[in-house]
Amino acid sequence: MRIGTTAPDFELADHSGERRALTELTAAGPVVLFFYPAANSPICTAQACHFRDLGTEFERLGAQRIGISTDTRDRNQHFALQRAFDFPLLSDSDGAVAEQFGVRRGGWLTRKRRLRELERGHSTAARRGLVRQLLSVKRTTFVIDRHRVVRMVVRSERGHVHATKALDYLRYLS
């Protein structure tokens, strides 16, 4: 997904089970959509907590923060409750939305394929499949305007830079 392109619409359940659609979210103002690989991992926790801690700043600028991962709704719910997040965490468990946004890591091994490789004596097949599952998306943040146009993209595995860069961009616009 590049700057200036229209973000694909999607509808996913958040950590509380409520269905959220991108068109509805952007109708209320800009959306800062951040993809994170795995709930409760150290870098993802730091990334999401930084978005939480800067919440007042984002609200002043009229922007909504939305986290999205391939974790299950239950895992996201635990993560949100444990860290007192005041924004929705969406569950993209099949990776379809990550694929649309171009942040899904390639080469996912299906369970069937992993078993087949194990039968053939490839000892690293299961481990490789687990790593790819844990790191299923590239840590990426999108600033999306009311018309679903992508205005900024942050691509970095350093979790603490995403909220700061998105916030700096939103300040620049206002």
Q: How would you write the pLDDT of the chain (174 residues) with one tens digit per residue?
A: 899 999 999 999 999 999 999 999 999 999 999 999 999 999 999 999 999 999 999 999 999 999 999 999 999 999 999 999 999 999 999 999 999 999 998 654 454 555 566 566 655 544 444 444 556 899 999 999 999 999 999 999 999 999 999 999 999 988
Q: Is 122 helix (H, G, I), strand (E, B) or coil?
A: coil
Whether the Cβ atoms of residue 29 and residue 60 lie closer than 8 Å to each other: no
Cα–Cα distance between 119 and 24 in angstroms, integer?
47
Element (H, E) at 153: strand 150-155
> Catalytic amino acids?
44
Exposure class string for 4-33: b at 16+ Cβ within 10 A, else e = eeebeebebbbbeeeebebeebbeeebbbb
**pLDDT score, position 174:** 84
Q: In what order do the strands lie in the sheet with 140-144?
A: 89-91, 64-69, 31-35, 140-144, 150-155
Structure tokens at 116: 């087949």
Q: Comparing C-alpha atoms, which of 130, 40, 52 is closest to residue 76?
A: 40
**pLDDT score, position 121:** 63
Domains and CATH numbers, the chain: 11-103+138-173 (3.40.30.10), 108-136 (no CATH)
**pLDDT score, position 40:** 93
**pLDDT score, position 105:** 86
One-letter amino acid identity for 105? Answer: R
Radius of gyration of the chain (CA): 17
**pLDDT score, position 136:** 82
Q: How far is CA 10 from the centre of its chain?
A: 13
46 CB-near residues (< 8 Å, 6+ apart):
159, 160
Tally the C-alpha atoms within 13 A of residue 61's C-alpha that lie toward its C-beta: 21
